[in-house]
Structure 1
Amino acid sequence: MRITVRPPERAAERAEPRPGPAADGVARVDRRTKNLTKRLRPGEIAVIDHQDIDRIAAEALVARRPAAVVNASASISGRYPNLGPEIIVSAGIPLIDDVGPHVMTLARDGERLRVEGNVLFRGDTPLAAGKLLNLPAILTAMEEARAGLSEQLEAFVQNTMEYLRKERDLLLDGVGVPDVRTDFDDKHVLIVVRGYHFREDLKTLRPYIREYRPILIGVDGGADAILEAGYKPHMIVGDMDSVSDEALTCGAEVVVHAYRDGRAPGLERMSALGRECVVFPAAGTSEDVAMLLADDKGAKLIVAVGTHANLVEFLDKGRGGMASTFLTRLRVGGKLVDAKGVSRLYRSQISTGSLLLLIGAALVTVVATALVSPLGGLYWEVLRGYWDSFVFWVQGLFS
């Protein structure tokens, strides 16, 4: 279902509130949803300009618990069945859709606004009006989007071939992979991206991390996810636009993902922090760079957390660059395992039952040794003395 955009200059004039929830709160305005979620607080109104809201963006918004989300663009354009709008609405957050680009200039960041039905107000003045999305409308739009999925698949294939032409030497022969100080040779590597179910996957992988102690690589904000889970990243890879200063200064080796022409926006930030870094020029995503680096440096196994694992997830990002991730997975091959696969296949080498049995056997051995030992009686007398002292102390509390 394609939602019609009203002319910006007339949207506010024709705004008539339709039945729906009302919300009042401070507005947070940003064209980049990723940046907005960093400063969005519970109860505030998120004003975004995000065509085809993807699942990751939606989950980030829901985690911040806004009072409402106002989208300047179409949340479902019909290009492909994106997953974000359903997640937002299912969480009970009103989503006012396709209000027009003018809202990004009319709504001021930090001012108090009001949502009433399908209209955004400043006081009693309507600023923008759109369509208040509900689950039936979203599900209908998703069905229609699936009908046109073949066009997106064709575009995906074309982007894949274009990336292969650009990065043939890198993909096939590893040409251009920089030297790093982190030793990957014959080791397990855990790559963390702030993507699908990354928190749940990290929690599930705790026994694996404890036993195998893999090299931990955070892709941009994935480094913060590693810190939040109670670990320290060995390496951070990315363009440094969504990772905290705390992560960048934790001592991890930093690899800045640069464009093929040598431009690396992340270098300026690293320079400001006084951190040395390695530059890796490559097309594609930072996720790809992390995988290619680990593979080229001899990693035995690469476990991926929060990365894209199936066709719907590749398309859900809605950009051609995801074709590079598809090819990178082919390049890495059998070394790459999705975190969900590890959690299902991996079992700790020492089971809980075996551990309890071992403890019980040890206790029996200690008791038996004390009984047959010439000094056993002395041990029992010492223990009895400690017990009598403890009982006397407890009685003293009530006397």
Structure 2
Amino acid sequence: MGGHVCHTGPSGWGEAPRSPGSPSPVAGVTGATLIPLLQQRHPSTLSTPEHTLELRGATLAWAGRDKSSRKHVLELRTREGSEFLIQHDSDGIIAAWHKAIADSIGRLVSSAPRPAAMGMGTGDHAAPSLPGVGGHTSMMGNASGESDSSRVRNKLRKFLQRRPTLQSLRERGYIKDQVFGCSLQALCERERGTVPRFVLQCIQTVERRGLDIDGLYRVSGNLATIQKLRYKVEHDEQLDLDDGRWEDIHVVTGALKLFLRELPEPLIPFSHFEQFITAIKMQDPVRRGWCIRELVSSLPPAHHDTMKVLFHHLCRVIEYKEENRMSVQSIAIVFGPTLLRPASEEGNMAMHMVFQNQVVEHILNQYSYIFPDG
């Protein structure tokens, strides 16, 4: 079946020139490939194919006038982007070619990720398909595609209309509100208390296992294990810190520090930061102590009560400073930047850190004065 197969380059469309004695290209369709061959002067002998064209993912269309001035020209575009023009003067032969190639591509559609559009022109002036060859298949393909899209949209709309609200999922227990990164006030209100349960659990576990462990709160636990514990806290209401996975006490203390560090508003709220810094700078120790006690008393209930429980625990840690090597200064260095920080990091951070540590150190030293009923 003689005809022309022309590979178009990136510069534009158009058949390659042929000399009178040059071979006439022909092609054959085999499975998933189109095989361009060279027909010699004697039509009975065909040479070895120069190359093959992969039809999987290819598209076939009738070439428009902007692609070729000849009649009966097919435009074949491979998945890799190569473009070929296939032409024959005979209506019947080119129609047979169109059907053979289109059928081959159609058989490969089921194994492709997305169906390839058959008989669709890629140019602005695509010629109409020959009746009974490819045009009807293209139209049915378009209708089928639109129908599938419509069904998907309808199913998605019905699903969204039926889906339960976030509040109802929470009420049923399917979704649990976060603990880490949650506002201290909101967390305590949700738990109907003034001190987060996780804070109490960590403190009780540390004190039960012993406060004489070297580097308590200074030594870092395994970060991966801390993250696993965090995941457990967020997804399981029945948290057991005596589980063997959390046997390293530094994992428990590390998780408590992480919880405090991720509070959106620190234990000493942003609104009180400047006031605490101003108070700690006072030269008169009596006035300084009184101001800090008044500031602590003015904290919101969740912040005040959590601070009271936490600092009482830290004072107990300091009682074992000979064994755990955690003095007042050591605890202040660990917790200062976590419990007291400005809303923005503008300004002298080094100077802020000095005062942050001093505030924590003062509260530890004056705990019984600041919390007389503690």
TM over 0.5: no
Decide which structure has the larger Cα Rg and report it: 2
Q: TM-score, normalised by structure 2?
A: 0.25
Q: TM-score, normalised by structure 1?
A: 0.24
Structure with greater strand share of residues:
1
Relative contact order (C-alpha < 8 Å, sep 6+): which is higher? 1
